[in-house]
Amino acid sequence: MKRRQLVQFASAGLVAGLGLSLIDREPVQAQSSGVTLQYLGHTCFLFSGDGRRLLVNPFRPIGCTAGYRAPQVESDVVMISSRLLDEGSVEGLPGSPRILYEPGVYQLNGLQVQGISMDHDDVGGKRFGINVAWKWIQGGVNILHLGGAAAPITTEQQILMGRPDVMLVPVGDGPKAFTPEEAQAAIRLLNPKLVIPTQYKTAAADPATCDILPIDNFLSLMSGTPVQEVGSSITISAGGLPESTQIRVMSYA
């Protein structure tokens, strides 16, 4: 796979313009109305709940995202895991969302979002740099989006991540994502209640440049874990979560 072109940012000006601060303090108590996830392709999801819309990893249609529509959806906050075009293309998004792209703890009008630094490859970040995993509570549901995690989770990262209610985990291998075996190890380590696989090969991918695996490789490895195929949107409430890990496979509409 060819290395993705980097999105250009004027970092200092962007941070100043966003008016964001990195503050380490206890999160505000979340409401318990649940959260709705809309799958927009690859690792991109829109999370709606508590009167907020959070968009994670919007992309430009290229390579493994070539056949998906660019996610032109309204949002209040945009979080990107890297500045690569398949998970960090913020140009042309509607409205004026706040954009988060660096690790740290952010307080946004009562919502606490934490970005956790991880390697974006298996050579210490030397090839693709840093991946930011995002953690927050919305609608009473504890969410962890691992973005393009590619290296095993360290003890320090595990402590920061805790046990998520919902974990979105890349499963398709390639140069900048977990192998199915690494995804399985991360699931066993963090013990989430619901797993939503991301970053696997679909019919939307450009076969000439996308060298990731289909989801079947991961699902075969996870034999014995309950799997349910759902549509492009799913609503999750804290009261409806299973006690032990289950998998939800979302479809692209």
The per-residue pLDDT for 63 is 85
Q: Which domains does the chain carry?
A: 11-22+34-249 (3.60.15.10)
Task: Give pLDDT, residue 2.
Answer: 35
Q: What does the pLDDT profile of the chain (253 residues) look like in tens digits?
A: 333 333 333 333 333 333 343 433 334 444 468 999 999 999 999 999 999 999 999 998 888 888 899 999 999 999 999 876 676 677 888 989 999 999 999 999 999 999 999 986 666 666 666 899 999 999 999 999 999 898 999 999 999 999 999 999 999 998 888 999 999 999 999 999 999 999 999 988 888 888 899 999 999 999 999 999 999 999 999 999 999 999 999 999 8
**How far is C-alpha 154 from the chain's CA centre?**
18
Tokens representing residue 92 in the block: 């042309």
Question: Is residue 148 within 8 Å of 117, Cβ to Cβ?
Answer: no
Dist CA 70 CA 53 (whole Å)? 17
Q: What is the pTM of this model?
A: 0.85
Burial of 74 by CB count in 10 Å (0-12 exposed, 13-18 middle, 19+ buried)?
A: exposed
Nearest Cα residue to 106 out of 12, 176, 22, 177: 22
Q: Is 203 exposed, middle or buried (0-12, 13-18, 19+ CB in 10 A)?
A: exposed
Distance CA 55, CA 74 (A): 8
pLDDT at 29: 42
Per-residue model confidence (pLDDT) at position 123: 63
Predicted local distance difference test score (pLDDT) of residue 45: 97
3 vs 206: CA distance, rounded Å? 14
Query: Rounded to whole angstroms, how far apart are CA atoms 79 and 2?
Result: 24
**C-alpha to C-alpha distance for 238 and 41, rounded to whole angstroms:** 25
Q: Cβ(249)–Cβ(228) under 8 Å? A: yes
